Amino acid sequence: MRYLPKSPAERQQMLSAIGVSSIDELFAPIPAQFRLTRDLAIPAQMAESEIVDWFRARSNENATGYDILLGAGAYNHYRPLVIDSLISRGEWFTAYTPYQPEIAQGTLQAIFEFQTMICELTGMEVANASMYDGSTGAAEAVMMAIRITGRSEAILARSVHPEYREVIATYAKYQGLPLTEVAFTNNGRVDLAALDAAINTQTACVLIQSPNFFGTIEDVAAIAEVVHAKGALLVVSIAEALSLGIVRPPSEADIVSLEAQSFGVPLSYGGPYAGVIATREKFIRQIPGRLVGQTTDRNGKRGFVLTLSTREQHIRREKATSNICTNQALVALMVNIYMDVYGRVGLKELAEQNLAKAAYARNTLGEKAKILFDGAPRFNEFVIQTREDAYEISHRLASKNKIIGGFPLRKFYPELGNAAVWCATELTSRAAIDAAASEVNL
Amino acid sequence: MSNADITKVTTNISQNEGLIFEHSSPGKKAYRLRALDVPEVDAAAELGSALRTESAALPEVSEVEIIRHFTRLSTWNYAVDHGMYPLGSCTMKYNPRVNEAVARLDGIAGAHPYQPEQSSQGTLRIMKALADQLIEITGMDAITLQPAAGAHGELTGILLMRAYLESKGNARKKVLIPDSAHGTNPATAAMVGYQVENLRSNENGMVDLAALEAQMNEDVAGLMLTNPNTLGIFEEQIAQIAEILHRKGGLLYMDGANMNALVAKARPGDFGVDMMHLNLHKTFSTPHGGGGPGSGPVACKAHLEPFLPKPIVVESADGRLRLDYDRLQSIGRVRAFFGNFGMHVRALAYIMANGPDGLCQTTEDAVLNANYLRKKLEGTFDLPYSTPTMHEVVFSDKFQAKLGIKTGDIAKRLIDYGFHPYTVSFPMVVHGALMIEPTESEPLEELDLFVDAMKSIAQEAIDSPELIKNAPYFTRLSRLDETAAARKPILRWKPERK
Report the share of chain B in percent with pLDDT over 70: 99
Q: Which residue in the set B38, B292, B443 is minimally distant from A6, CB to CB?
A: B443
- Per-residue pLDDT, averaged over B233-250, amounts to 97
Are B355 and A43 in contact (CB < 8 Å)? yes
Q: How far apart are CA B425 and CA B435, in angstroms?
A: 8
Q: How far apart are CA A29 and CA A26, in angstroms?
A: 7
Q: What is the pLDDT of residue B97?
A: 98
Q: How far apart are CA A79 and CA A331, in angstroms?
A: 13
Packing angle, helices B341-377 and A48-61, rounded to 10: 150
Are B375 and A66 in contact (CB < 8 Å)? no
Whether ipTM > 0.95 holds is yes
- DSSP, collapsed to helix, strand or coil, labels residue A343 as helix
Q: Which residue in the set B108, B444, B481 is minimally distant from A58, CB to CB?
A: B108
Are B334 and A170 in contact (CB < 8 Å)? yes
Q: DSSP letters along B344-385, please?
A: HHHHHHHHHHHHHHHHHHHHHHHHHHHHHHHHHHBTTBB-S-
Beta carbons of B31 and A342 less than 8 angstroms apart: yes
Beta carbons of A135 and A272 less than 8 angstroms apart: no
Beta carbons of B96 and B284 less than 8 angstroms apart: no
How far, in Å, are A106, B108, B232, B338 from residue B113 at the CA level?
32, 10, 39, 8
Asked if A352 has any chain B CB less than 8 Å from its own CB, the reply is yes
Whether the link from the prior residue into B311 is cis, omega within 30° of 0, is yes
Are A34 and B48 in contact (CB < 8 Å)? no
Q: How far apart are CA A212 and CA A182, in angstroms?
A: 13
DSSP state of A406: P
Q: What is the pLDDT of residue A361?
A: 98
Q: How confident is the model at residue B447 (pLDDT cuts 50, 70, 90)?
A: very high
Q: How far apart are CA B407 and CA B411, in angstroms?
A: 6
Q: How far apart are CA A29 and CA B389, in angstroms?
A: 8
H-helix or E-strand containing A92?
helix A90-93
- Strand partners of residue A233: A205
- Strand partners of residue B207: B201
Give the count of alpha carbons within 13 A of B17, CB side only.
22
- DSSP, collapsed to helix, strand or coil, labels residue B436 as strand
Q: How confident is the model at residue B118 (pLDDT cuts 50, 70, 90)?
A: very high
How far, in Å, are A234, B215, B428, B444 from residue B197 at the CA level?
35, 9, 16, 42
With 90 as the cut, is the pLDDT of residue B368 above it? yes
Q: Which residue in the set A126, A248, A272 is minimally distant from B340, CB to CB?
A: A272
Beta carbons of B180 and B338 less than 8 angstroms apart: no
Give the count of alpha carbons within 13 A of B405, CB side only.
28
Are B36 and A316 in contact (CB < 8 Å)? no
- Strand partners of residue A423: A381
With 70 as the cut, is the pLDDT of residue B497 above it? no
Beta carbons of B264 and B363 less than 8 angstroms apart: yes
**Burial class for A176, CB neighbours closer than 10 Å (0-12, 13-18, 19+):** exposed
DSSP state of B38: S
Q: Are strands B312-315 and B298-300 parallel, antiparallel or unpaired?
A: unpaired
Q: How far apart are CA A145 and CA A148, in angstroms?
A: 5
Residues from chain A that touch B104, judged by Cβ atoms under 8 A, are: 84, 266
The count of other CB atoms within 10 Å of the CB of residue B455 is 16
Q: What is the pLDDT of residues A393-414, one digit of tens each?
A: 999 999 999 999 999 999 999 9
**Spatial CA neighbour of B95 closest among B341, B353, B370:** B353
Cα dihedral: A50, B98, B89, B376 (round 10): 90
Beta carbons of B282 and B343 less than 8 angstroms apart: no
Q: How confident is the model at residue A320 (pLDDT cuts 50, 70, 90)?
A: confident
Q: How far apart are CA B110 and CA A84, in angstroms?
A: 14
Residue A426 identity:
E
Residue B320 identity:
R
Beta carbons of B23 and B16 less than 8 angstroms apart: no
How far, in Å, are A213, A349, A384, B337 from residue A408 at the CA level?
12, 30, 10, 15
Name the H helices within A300-328. Answer: 313-316
Neighbouring residues of A72: CB distance < 8 A, sequence distance ≥ 6: A161, A213, A381, A407, A421, A423, B114
Q: How far apart are CA B123 and CA B127, in angstroms?
A: 6
Beta carbons of B444 and A13 less than 8 angstroms apart: yes
Asked if A328 has any chain B CB less than 8 Å from its own CB, the reply is yes
DSSP state of A234: E
Q: How confident is the model at residue B336 (pLDDT cuts 50, 70, 90)?
A: very high
What does the longest C-alpha to C-alpha distance in chain A come to?
Answer: 81
How far, in Å, are A132, B204, B255, B348, B393 from residue B268 at the CA level?
27, 21, 10, 20, 21
- Which one of A340, A380, A411, A426 makes the best mutation probe of the B interface by having the most chain B beta carbons within 10 Å? A340
Q: Which residue in the set A13, A64, A82 is minimally distant from B107, CB to CB?
A: A64
Chain A: closest CA distance from residue B459 (Å): 22
Q: Which residue in the set B85, B184, B357 is minimally distant from A325, CB to CB?
A: B184
**Spatial CA neighbour of A93 closest among B290, B327, B426, B151:** B290
Beta carbons of B130 and B387 less than 8 angstroms apart: no
Neighbouring residues of A25: CB distance < 8 A, sequence distance ≥ 6: none
How far, in Å, are A364, A397, A432 from residue A435 at the CA level?
10, 9, 5
Q: What is the pLDDT of residues B264-289, one digit of tens each?
A: 999 999 999 999 999 999 999 999 99
Q: How confident is the model at residue A442 (pLDDT cuts 50, 70, 90)?
A: low
Q: How far apart are CA A54 and CA A159, in angstroms?
A: 40
**Spatial CA neighbour of A435 closest among A405, A395, A409, A407:** A405
Q: Are strands A255-259 and A233-238 parallel, antiparallel or unpaired?
A: parallel
Q: In B141-208, which ranges are E strands?
A: 142-144, 174-178, 195-199
Q: What is the pLDDT of residue A315?
A: 77
**Spatial CA neighbour of A208 closest among A184, A175, A177:** A184
Q: How far apart are CA B19 and CA B39, in angstroms?
A: 38
Report the share of chain B in percent with pLDDT over 90: 97
Are A6 and B420 in contact (CB < 8 Å)? no
Beta carbons of B59 and B24 less than 8 angstroms apart: yes
What count of CB pairs under 8 Å joins A to B? 692
Share the mean pLDDT of chain A. Answer: 96
Q: What is the pLDDT of residues B14-73, one digit of tens each?
A: 999 999 999 999 999 999 999 999 999 999 999 999 999 999 999 999 999 999 999 999
Asked if A77 has any chain B CB less than 8 Å from its own CB, the reply is no
Q: How confident is the model at residue A325 (pLDDT cuts 50, 70, 90)?
A: confident
Q: What is the pLDDT of residue A62?
A: 95
Q: What is the pLDDT of residue A53?
A: 98
**Spatial CA neighbour of A391 closest among B317, B338, B117, B125:** B117
Asked if A41 has any chain B CB less than 8 Å from its own CB, the reply is yes
Q: Are strands A153-157 and A203-209 parallel, antiparallel or unpaired?
A: parallel
With 80 as the cut, is the pLDDT of residue A302 above it? yes
**Burial class for A113, CB neighbours closer than 10 Å (0-12, 13-18, 19+):** buried
Q: Which residue in the set A4, A117, A357 is minimally distant from B58, CB to CB?
A: A117
Total residues found in chain A within this entry = 442
Q: What is the pLDDT of residue B495?
A: 83
Q: How far apart are CA B29 and CA B175, in angstroms?
A: 55
**Spatial CA neighbour of A84 closest among A267, A334, A427, A347:** A334
Total residues found in chain B within this entry = 498
Q: What is the pLDDT of residue B1?
A: 67
Nearest CA in chain A to B295: A272
Asked if A113 has any chain B CB less than 8 Å from its own CB, the reply is yes
Q: DSSP letters along A347-398, please?
A: HHHHHHHHHHHHHHHHHHHHTTSEEESTTS-BSSEEEEE-SS-HHHHHHHHH
Q: How far apart are CA B300 and CA B233, in angstroms?
A: 23
Residues from chain A that touch B442, judged by Cβ atoms under 8 A, are: 5
